[in-house]
Structure 1
Amino acid sequence: MKLSTLLFSTLAAALIPLELKGKRFIRPSVDAQEDGEVFFIKGIDYQPGGSSAYDSSKGVDAFTDAEACWRDAYAFQQLGINTVRVYSLNPDLNHDECVTIFNNAGIYLLLDVNNGEYGANLNRADPQGTYNAYYMSHVFKFIDSFKNYPNVLGFFSGNEVINDDSNYAETVPKYIRAVQRDMKQYIAKNSNRTIPVGYSSADNTDLRRATLEYLQCNNNDDDSQSDFFGLNSYQWCSGISDWQSSGYDVLNSTLSNATIPLLFSEFGCNTKSPRTFDEISDGLFGGLAYTFSGGLVYEYSEEASNYGVVEINDDYSITYLTDFTNLQSQYKDASTPVLKSSQVTNDTKHTCDSSIITDIYSGFGADFDIPEQSNDTKWLIDNGASGAYIGSLIDDLSPRKSNYTVYDVSSNEVSSATVTFADVDKANTQTGVVSSTAAAATTTAAAVGTTATASTSAKTSSSKAAGVANVGISFTGALSLILALLI
């Protein structure tokens, strides 16, 4: 086994739900008592067949063919990526095996809640008419379907809905905030963990800063702000651009005041092919590393637009393209800052101010009078959307290779294309967590007269429990208390 694979497997052992702190994603330590680490996205956009191929009536999507997921998880591990974005998924289908494969392979997921079908997106041409309970029920069912997967990094509320065509930049923004508010309230009410909600912005240099300023600010704590901000950017073209000509220098300076995590939700200009992806080492993980938190290359599979790094053949085998090996080399050699959670500040959210945004882009609809929820939407938030399928990880999935063949860039079969897994039992839980049972036991100890101070470590809690036995608790009671504190 190659050294790079061994290193990747070690990292995957800490695949715990990511958290947000200030403008950074944080990967918590396996031991809850130790400092977490800033997480940089090395990712790829993933929609085999393209978004136009999605059809909910077919009963399949990108996460229903397990053999394809085994195949692609292996390729992801060879690329050295840690995150994939998926644009169109059917919330009514069972995705357990595919998501478990990616989870155990060390892959986080950024998922778009929308698709192109009727009632499953906010129509930029008619935001008022399409922001309704029917649409929100689709979004809520999508959240239900994926909320229990710990490797879901976040949800995109929209992709390039705000743009400079027609009057969309003026009319759409407040509806994006309304959708995000509803999503975050639904997650708070119906999920057992907080899942970040963000937005993916169009590749428009005039609009991007205004969109960020509008979506990141605090509007009277109404929950409508973005938790993270994705930018679709194709300004740096391989072999043509550099830091200045791509505008990365301007991007770095104009977005440096962000108070939420920034990422490239799409990047990888293909004006010149094959792509060398030098924007990764020289840009994204170079000068932008203290402003952005990584990004996702567009895209995994070769489609009509010629952005793919693999070719999916008629027999569902894949062949690596030259772009694959070039991207593999860039991600392998990319050096990112090593930052601990304690080094990250919790930036104060800016209070929303329309004038700041219109000064940047006069035609932007910087309206913070967010549309109200309908009574039906409120009911769904309070009572749940009753999604057809609520997913969960599979406990006993063993790593293997796909039944679909993998070919390298020279069209030679990769015979050892087996996905590697970290220890499944450790993948999604932390040690050293003070449980609610332990907290209850601490309260009991205080009630019977102990003066010991609260402790976050199991060792100290055990000592405290031993002290409680001296104030009149029976041996059996003390033993029960000690065991509770140690859980």
Structure 2
Amino acid sequence: MKLSTLVSAASLAAVSSALIPLEVVGNRFVRPNTDADKDGEEFTIVGIDYQPGGASGYDESAGKDVLSDEDACLRDAFVLQQLGVNTIRVYTVNPWINHDKCMSIFNAVGIYVVLDVSSPFNALSRTDPGSTYNEGLLNRVFGVIDAFKGYPNTLGFFSGNEVVNDEKSAKVCPQYVRALQRDMKEYIKLHANRTIPVGYSAADDDTLRRAMWAYLECDNSDNDNDDASSNSDFYGLNSYDWCSGRDNWQTSGYGQLLDDFEDSSIPVFMSEYGCNVNSPRTFTEVSGGVYGDLAKAFSGGLIYEYSQEESDYGLVDIDDDGNVKLRTDYTNLQNQYNNITLPTASESDIKSDAPKAPKCGKSVVSDIDSSFQTNFTLPDCPAADMLKKGGGNKNIGKIVSVDKKSSKYTIKNTQGDEISDTNIKIDSNNEINQPTGGSLDSASATAAASTAGSSSSGSSTSSGLAGANAVNVGSIAASLFGLLYMLI
């Protein structure tokens, strides 16, 4: 980064505070240092799957989605900030509407967003992927990329969710998932001003998820075109192996998960976890597994899910008026998050220790599952002209100022007591949110809400830090760093 560029940016009358975009380095996510001469630091996902209303609640014709309602996002940003979350996954968005307020709110509280590009009505078919890998699908996929590429807190995009989930889909779908990833990565290269990771979320099947990882991880440069790679930049597992109150490290199979993925050349994390066989969940898999020994190979995970839906996995209840009440699951998860220690490996150490991806070939996959597809010759992009010229979505997102600090909705703790101070805490140092060590069920809910957790690139402890009000040199540098990512 040139000093002259920083000075020019500093001359702007106002700079939007922005998280630093994450990068993939070897098999880990890394938060770059604001000083280009210094190492970045490992980033571990402490996350929640976020789709209030569920997939059935999405209606593209309604002109709204879960990231378009400023008050709902302020409400949930407060709840998630107090929980200690640094990442949310959003399954379905409308790419044609504005998301600036919500994405800026989550950015302001130190939360990254990873997004699925498909919708329930427009995705790769498990039974006949060739018929759905078409210009219509790519118009949506490229539209999502355009809508979210300008936000520094966009962590990445999922090309698919459980597209391969049985023996039949394992024979016909992998090529199309990899082809879609190729198209997405090429589109980002041509039309975004930074590299944004593209990955996949795998079904909860021991054999299929490892075979799909091998298929998507390997180096296919001998078959890929000159402009883009088709491999996954990261790999998510939807895994419900460890049920709190029933399992431990030995009975859950987490030891096998560690063995299966410890040689991964790309980041692996739980894109869904949090078995609900027993209720309320106590989430022993958090401190005892995902952020315990599994952290040797995994980069954290996303608990399923934020709001209570028909599947009974919710951390909070949202009533018909939009008010929130915390469930016991929320408090139990908060207690678990308060007892984790996040790794702090340096970028240099990650580079030196990361395994190298194997070359793609039949044995890479067939040694794991002999019935899995091993064809690495990918179908051509069905919308080559759109890929090169752009999808035409003029709704390009950007960070805006966050003027409101609380929503119109009430938030109650598990005892039913209304939390009086529900203002989000904005840290001027652009720091990543982390567990506060507190609880919204403590004697004073107001006091518990007065501190927001954050984590700088130099520290990943579990102690909470109050949002600073004074803008210092460090905060200016961080703001400029995030801004420059959006400009260059």
| C-alpha distance in 2 between matches for 1:203 and 1:362 | 19
State the match for 1:378 in structure 2. Answer: 384
- 2:232 paired residue number: 226
2:74 pairs, out of 66, 70, 87, with 70
CA-to-partner distance for each residue in 1:341-374, whole Å, 9 max, x for gaps?
A: 1111254221002123112111111110111123
Q: 1:409 aligns with which of 403, 407, 414?
A: 414
C-alpha displacement of 1:329: 1.1
Q: Secondary structure of the equivalent of 1:207?
A: helix
Tell me the CA shift for residue 30 of structure 1.
Answer: 2.8
Q: How far did 1:333 drift?
A: 1.4
Counting only pairs closer than 5 Å after superposition, residues 319-338 of structure 1 correspond to structure 2 as 319-338=325-344
Q: CA deviation at 1:408?
A: 0.6
Q: CA deviation at 1:204?
A: 0.2
C-alpha separation between the residues in 1 aligned to 2:39 and 2:483?
12
Alignment of 1:303-314 (within 5 A): 303-314=309-320
Counterpart position of 2:182:
181
User: In the alignment, is residue 351 of structure 1 matched against residue 359 of structure 2?
Assistant: yes
Flag the 1:431–1:389 CA change in 2: closer, same or farther, 3 A: closer
Rounded Cα–Cα distance in structure 1 between residues aligned with 2:326 and 2:61: 31
Contact conserved, 1:399 with 1:420, CA < 8 A, in 2? Answer: no
> 1:237 and 1:206 mapped to 2: Cα distance?
20
Q: Please report the RMSD computed on the Cα atoms of aligned residues, expressed in angstroms.
A: 1.9
The equivalent residue for 2:250 is 244
Preserved CA contact (<8 Å) 2:18 2:108: no
For 2:111 and 2:344, how far apart are their aligned partners in 1?
20
How far the C-alpha of 1:429 sits from its partner, in A, is: 3.3
Q: CA deviation at 1:403?
A: 0.8
1:431, distance to aligned residue in structure 2 (A) = 9.2
Structure 2 Cα separation of the partners of residues 286 and 268 of structure 1: 15
Distance in 2 between residues matched to 1:392 and 1:292, nearest whole Å? 31
Choose 1 or 2 for highest CA Rg: 1
For the Cα contact (< 8 Å) 1:32–1:431, is it kept in 2? no
CA deviations on 1:65-109 (whole Å, 9 max, x unpaired) are 110000000001110000000001000010000000001110000
Q: Is the 8 A contact 2:263 2:355 kept in 1?
A: no
- 2:60 maps to which residue? 56
CA distance 1:366–1:430, shift in 2 (3 Å): same
Please tell me whether residue 39 in structure 1 is matched to residue 40 in structure 2.
no
Partner Cα separation in structure 1 for residue 479 and residue 281 of structure 2: 35
The match for 1:126 is: 128
* Counterpart residue type for residue 372 of structure 1: D
1:429 and 2:430 are equivalent in the alignment: no
Aligned to 2:425: 420
Distance 1:113 1:14 in 2: 23
Equivalent pair of 1:32/1:433 in contact (CA under 8 Å): no
Do the aligned residues in 1 keep the contact of 2:264 with 2:357 (CA within 8 Å)?
no
Instruction: Please state how far the C-alpha of 1:432 moved relative to its aligned partner.
Output: 13
Aligned pairs for 1:18-167 within 5 A: 18-117=22-121, 120-164=122-166, 167=168
For the residue of structure 2 that corresponds to 1:229, the secondary structure is strand
1:295 aligns with 2:301: yes
Matched residues in 1 for 2:18 and 2:337: separation?
19
| TM-aligned CA deviation for residue 388 of structure 1 | 4.1
Equivalent position SS for 1:373: coil
Q: How far is the alpha carbon of 1:34 from its aligned partner?
A: 2.2
Aligned to 2:436: none
Query: Is the CA contact (8 Å cut-off) linking 1:141 and 1:387 kept in structure 2?
Result: yes
CA contact (8 A) 1:33 1:432 kept: no
Match of residue 445 from structure 1: none
Q: Determine the structure 1 residue equivalent to 2:372.
A: 364
- Report Cα offsets for 1:144-200 as digits up to 9, x if no partner: 0110001000000000001115x1111000000000000000000000000000000
Of 62-71 and 213-222, more deviation after overlay is shown by: 213-222
Aligned amino acid, residue 155 of structure 1: F
| Residues 150, 428 of structure 1: 8 Å contact kept | no
Q: Does 1:211 align with 2:212?
A: yes
Equivalent position SS for 2:298: coil
Instruction: Confirm or deny: 8 A CA contact 1:31 1:430 kept in the other structure.
Output: no
Q: Secondary structure at the match of 1:324?
A: helix
1:178-229 CA distance string (max 9 Å, x none): 0000000000000000000000000001211111110000112621100000
Cα shift at 1:433: 8.9
Structure 2 unaligned regions, length at least 5: 1-16, 431-474
Deviation at 1:266, TM superposition (A): 0.1
Task: Confirm or deny: 8 A CA contact 1:31 1:432 kept in the other structure.
Answer: no
Normalised by the size of structure 1, how large is the TM-score?
Answer: 0.83
Q: CA deviation at 1:257?
A: 1.0
Q: Residue 123 of structure 1: CA displacement?
A: 1.0
Match of 2:396 in 1: 390
SS of aligned partner of 1:430:
helix
Q: Deviations over 1:378-408 (max 9, x none)?
A: 11121111114111110x3235111111111
Identity rate of aligned residues, in percent? 49
Secondary structure of the 1:70 match is: helix
Q: Following TM superposition, by how much is the alpha carbon of 1:14 offset from its aligned partner in structure 2, in angstroms?
A: 7.8
CA contact (8 A) 2:220 2:376 kept: yes
Mapped partners of 2:355, 2:258: distance in 1: 18
Measured in 2, the distance between the counterparts of 1:342 and 1:210 equals 30
Matches of 1:365 and 1:60 in 2, distance apart?
A: 38
The answer to whether the 8 A contact 2:18-2:482 is kept is: no
Partner of 2:405: 400
SS, match of residue 236 in structure 1: coil
C-alpha separation between the residues in 2 aligned to 1:78 and 1:107? Answer: 12
1:428 deviates by 4.6
Query: Is the 1:201–1:211 contact (alpha carbons within 8 Å) kept by the matching residues of 2?
Result: yes
**Paired residue total:** 418
Where 2:24 maps in the other structure, the secondary structure is strand
Q: Distance in 1 between matches of 2:326 and 2:333?
A: 11
1:107 counterpart letter in structure 2: I
